[in-house]
Every structure is written in structure tokens, then in C-alpha cells.
């Protein structure tokens, strides 16, 4: 049997190398599945050795956690940009939640990987990343409550309930189908729930096209 060809050494910065591993992780987890994926397969996909892989990530759990953290980073950055504009309370909530839904739909495959095959350790890393987005928005809801824009027995808890309901709905719909979701319909349902939860009793959901 011929010897395996030696991999040509390519000099890259640590950030570029880490990005290579992240992209390789997305590809391998999507095709092989998280549970079946091996470090050797991940390293080969990133065109590195196993030793180099471990310089960047302790395990494939941490790699998946990093992929999800990257996903959450985009949500947090978008939310911060929207909040910084200083628009009215309700339109801001609507824009943030709409952006969250759009981002989830765009990254549906990552959702399937995380909630469909990840183990408890990887899920905990993902949960920790999610908390940053939740805390950011809870702080905004606190401010809106002080301004009397939002009303509930506990607006912080009400927001968390609605946020997790939206997240759970998206995960459920994404897991059930490989086809595109009706993003407009899902957004309308989530915004209606958010308005009800935070005390906007006069909110009227926009009718969706038949």
C-alpha cells in the first residue's frame, strides 16, 4: 500500500487557521453528523494535523460550541446596532426579534446539528453562548419597563419566556423540515407573542398572505 502523501505545510496566522477549522467543522458535522465525526476527519477537512487541531480546540464539543458562539456573536452585534439607533421601544423589539428569526432561518443547518445530534457537553457550551443575547435584551426590557413602555408581572421573565418560546419554535420547525421555512409567518407569530407577553394589549398582528 502506498504511503499516505505528506501534507504540504502552509503558513497561516492563528486567526486564519482557526477559521479554517471552524469552516471544516461546519462541513463535517453537516455531512457526517456530530456524533460520528472524528478529530482525524475534522483535521483532514481543515488540512491540518490532529496535533494542530488540539492547539485550537480541546474537543469537537468545543469546536461546535465555538461555531454556535460565532452564530450568537452575529445576533448580539446586530442587536447592539439596532439598540444603538435609539428608536421607539416596540419597533426596536420587533426589529431585533425579526433579525433573530432571519438569522436562525439562514443558519438552519447549524440548528439541526446542535439540537439534533450534539451531546450534553456541547449543548451546555451553546447555552452559555445564548445567554449573552438574552442578557442583552433583558437589560433593554428593564429600561423599557422603567419608561413604562413594557408591562407585565415581571417583564424580564416575560421576555425570557417569549424568547425561549420563539427559539423552541424555530428549532422545532427547522428539525421537522429540510425545506425553507415561511419566515414571514413565523415572524408574525413570534412578534404577536412578544407583544402580548410585554403588555401591548392593543397589538394587532398583520394578516399573512394566503
Task: Express each pLDDT in 2-38 by its tens digit.
Answer: 555 555 566 789 999 999 999 999 999 989 989 999 9
Mean of pLDDT values over 187-204: 93
Is residue 175 within 8 A of residue 116, CB to CB? The reply is yes
Least confident of 46-60, 87-101, 115-129, 140-154: 115-129
Q: Which domains does the chain have, with CATH numbers?
A: 14-56 (1.10.10.60), 60-197 (1.10.357.10)
pLDDT band at 202 (very low <50, low <70, confident <90, very high): confident
Residue predicted with more confidence, 19 or 125: 19
Q: Which residue has the cell 432571519?
A: 102
pLDDT of residue 210: 47
Mean of pLDDT values over 74-98: 95
The set of cell numbers assigned to 90 is 416596540
Amino acid at each position: 500500500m502506498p504511503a499516505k502523501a505528506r501534507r504540504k505545510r502552509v503558513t497561516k496566522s492563528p486567526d486564519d487557521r482557526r477559521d479554517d477549522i471552524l469552516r471544516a467543522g461546519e462541513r463535517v458535522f453537516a455531512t457526517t453528523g456530530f456524533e460520528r465525526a472524528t478529530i482525524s476527519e475534522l483535521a483532514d477537512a481543515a488540512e491540518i494535523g490532529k496535533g494542530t487541531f488540539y492547539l485550537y480546540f480541546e474537543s469537537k464539543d468545543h469546536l461546535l460550541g465555538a461555531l454556535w458562539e460565532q452564530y450568537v456573536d452575529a445576533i448580539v452585534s446586530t442587536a447592539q446596532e439596532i439598540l444603538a439607533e435609539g428608536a421607539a421601544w416596540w419597533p426596536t423589539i420587533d426589529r431585533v426579534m425579526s433579525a433573530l428569526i432571519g438569522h436562525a432561518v439562514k443558519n438552519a443547518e447549524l440548528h439541526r446539528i446542535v439540537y439534533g445530534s450534539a451531546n450534553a457537553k456541547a449543548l451546555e457550551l451553546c447555552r452559555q453562548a445564548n445567554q449573552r443575547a438574552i442578557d442583552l435584551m433583558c437589560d433593554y426590557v428593564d429600561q423599557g419597563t422603567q419608561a413604562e413602555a413594557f408591562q407585565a408581572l415581571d417583564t424580564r421573565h416575560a421576555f425570557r419566556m417569549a424568547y425561549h418560546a420563539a427559539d423552541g419554535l424555530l428549532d422545532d420547525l427547522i428539525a421537522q423540515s429540510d425545506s425553507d421555512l415561511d419566515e414571514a409567518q413565523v415572524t408574525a407569530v413570534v412578534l404577536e407573542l412578544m407583544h402580548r407577553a410585554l403588555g401591548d394589549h392593543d397589538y394587532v398582528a398583520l394578516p399573512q398572505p394566503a
